[in-house]
Structure 1
Amino acid sequence: MIDPFANDHQSMQVGDLVIENQKDKIIIYGDIDLTLDASGYEHAQQLHELMSRVINIFESKNLYNNNDDKSKENDDQLGKDIDNPFL
């Protein structure tokens, strides 16, 4: 289990879902099938535990109100206009 927002090097996988940890964001990509069996239950428990930790950080530090910590160099959009190469 990762320690949300604590570092830039942890990651975990639940099914085919990848969760990457960074100090200013959590990146989640891939997909997962939560099947109605023991495997699906285990995956759901892992996701629930992770999201509980993430929500606790938000509630304790009010990170959802602080946009100053957002990592600009890791964003897809840097706030710059670029020419459309398809026109």
Structure 2
Amino acid sequence: MIDPFANNHQSMQIGELVIENQQDKITIYGDIDLMLDASGYQQAQQLHELTTKIMQAFDKGAPYSSDAPESKKNDDQQDKKIDNPFL
């Protein structure tokens, strides 16, 4: 389970749903089919736990501010040109 908004390197997957953690946002993409069986129940529990943790992070954090760091500013890549190692 990720720690919402805590870092820029955690990710997790529930079914085909991918959740990527960053300090200023959570990115969720993909899809998930929740079947009415044990597997569906487990995935629903994971979604519930994740959304609960995200809401708790909002409750703990300062009011929503535009002063928060942007993910692109925290990116490892610095727009530097490098030689293509495959040429």
Specify if TM > 0.5: yes
More relative contact order, 1 or 2 (CA 8 Å, 6+ apart): 2
> What range is the shorter-chain TM-score in?
0.7 to 0.9
Deviation at 1:68, TM superposition (A): 1.7
Taking a change above 3 Å as real, the CA distance of residues 39 and 61 of structure 1, as seen in their structure-2 partners, is same
Correspondence for 1:59: 59
Relative to the length of structure 1, the TM-score reads 0.77
Deviations 1:34-60 (A, max 9, x none): 111101100000010010000001011
Paired residue type of 1:67: S
The alignment's C-alpha RMSD in Å is: 1.6
Report how far residue 73 of structure 1 moved. 3.1
18-27 or 53-62, which moves further after superposition? 53-62
- Structure 1 segments, 4+ long, off by >6 Å, are none
The secondary structure found in structure 2 opposite 1:27 is strand
Matches within 5 A, 1:66-81: 66-69=65-68, 71=70, 73=72
Give the total of aligned pairs: 73
SS, match of residue 67 in structure 1: coil
TM-score by length of 2: 0.77
Letter of the 2:44 partner, please give it.
A
Unaligned 5+ segments in structure 2 are 74-87
Q: Aligned to 1:5, what secondary structure does the other structure show?
A: coil
